[in-house]
Amino acid sequence: MGKEFEKILRLHEKEDEKYIFCEEDIIARMMNEFQNAQELLELLSSNSAHAVDFFTMSEFPSRWPVIPIRKSDKFYIKKHTSTQKPYFHSHNFYELIYVHRGKCIQHIDSQNAECVLKEKQACVVYPELVHSLMPSGKDDVILKIVIPGEIFESFSDIIPSQCSEKMRIFDSVTEQAEYFTAKIMEESLYKREFWYSACKSYLALLLTELCRTRETTDAETIELLHRYFSMNLKTASLSDFAESLGYSSGYAGRIIKEKTGNNFSELLSRYRIESAKKMLETTSLSVENISLEVGYLNPSGFYKQFCALYGMTPKEYRQMFR
């Protein structure tokens, strides 16, 4: 992002700062931003609190009888600022959160869990998810794109408008996706002729790019590994697997560990032993040849791992099927 965008981000910070201590401005903002603003104001009044307390009090609103519901029928993009206080809320719209720099910490009320988005990660927050965003740090650049339901649902061929988990995380924001985000900011800032249509077009491209490179699920990761192992059993390596997906070895290793609980070498050894076990059951190949077929250059290493897993030698295991 260029100097012009850095200027926009600073303006966003200043805009939010002026609301923090002005009661009238906060009331106007609450009426404009919250679907249930009147309930919130009545609740504040019954607790002898003022509207300014809503954004400054340490007690999260999730502990109140009323959860704030943010509303919007307009599409816009805005920086998540350092002056915004954490409070649990839901939306009547979809929200795309993109971490350009630093990190974004969210608390998910229904799961009593913390979700941390790192640099170059993004997520779509679906309506009705109750969450709270911690203020951004000094060097964080977190962008929030508010997408009204009618617009988001028009992209249902790209990304489903319903999600049981109410959040979809994208693990790797590409340079292309970053470019589309910058174009949305530019169109939103200058509002040239047809800017709104341009924003929707760039949003469609952004969602397409994110979905093409989205984070794989646990099941998908396991399926990718099994497919790779079956085709490259003798020569399998983490670097080769990562290259086949266009990832670095470090990134691929981290994803495998996060999704499966095991590292690449552990999963490869397990797959090799499982393959050898089937060959012991169904073929007459020698144990030494089987160990070579599944990728062990040294048969003694195969013997050692097989015994550790099954408590018997490969030959003893084979005798069970004779």
| pLDDT tens per residue across span 8-31 | 677 666 666 665 557 777 788 888
**311 to each of 300, 304, 315, how far by Cα in Å?**
15, 10, 12
- Predicted pLDDT of residue 66: 80
- Over pLDDT 90: what percentage of the chain? 34
> What is the H or E stretch that residue 276 is in?
helix 264-282
Contacts of 294 by beta carbon, 8 Å cutoff, 6+ apart: 233, 234, 272, 273, 275, 276, 279, 302
- The answer on pLDDT for 181 being more than 90 is yes
The number of C-alpha atoms within 13 Å of 16 and in the hemisphere containing its C-beta is 17
- The answer on pLDDT for 303 being more than 70 is yes
Task: Give the pLDDT band of residue 63 (cuts 50, 70, 90).
Answer: low
pLDDT, tens digit, for every residue of 230-273? 899 999 999 988 877 766 787 788 888 878 888 999 999 989 99
- Predicted pLDDT of residue 77: 92
Q: For residue 195, report the phi and psi dihedrals to the nearest 5 degrees.
A: -60, -35
Q: How far apart (Å, rounded) are the C-alpha atoms in residues 38 and 229? A: 59
- Predicted pLDDT of residue 260: 83
- Over pLDDT 70: what percentage of the chain? 84
Report the candidate in 199, 170, 172, 194 with the shortest Cα–Cα distance to residue 183.
Answer: 199
Q: Which residue has the higher pLDDT, 121 or 25?
A: 121
**Average pLDDT, whole number, for the chain?**
84
Q: Which residue has the higher pLDDT, 7 or 78?
A: 78
pLDDT, tens digit, for every residue of 91-116? 999 999 999 999 999 888 765 677 88
pTM: 0.63
> What is the H or E stretch that residue 33 is in?
helix 23-33
Q: Of how many residues is the chain composed? A: 322
C-beta neighbour count of 292 within 10 angstroms: 16
Q: Average of pLDDT values for 82-88?
A: 76
Task: Give the pLDDT band of residue 50 (cuts 50, 70, 90).
Answer: low
- The answer on pLDDT for 61 being more than 60 is no
- The answer on pLDDT for 206 being more than 60 is yes
Task: Give the pLDDT band of residue 311 (cuts 50, 70, 90).
Answer: confident
Task: Give the pLDDT band of residue 4 (cuts 50, 70, 90).
Answer: low
Return the residue matching tokens 């203020």: 135
Could you tell me if 23 and 52 are in contact, meaning their C-beta atoms sit under 8 angstroms apart?
yes
- Predicted pLDDT of residue 135: 85
Q: Average of pLDDT values for 267-296?
A: 92
Task: Give the pLDDT band of residue 60 (cuts 50, 70, 90).
Answer: very low
pLDDT, tens digit, for every residue of 130-160? 888 888 888 899 999 999 999 999 999 999 8
- Predicted pLDDT of residue 65: 73
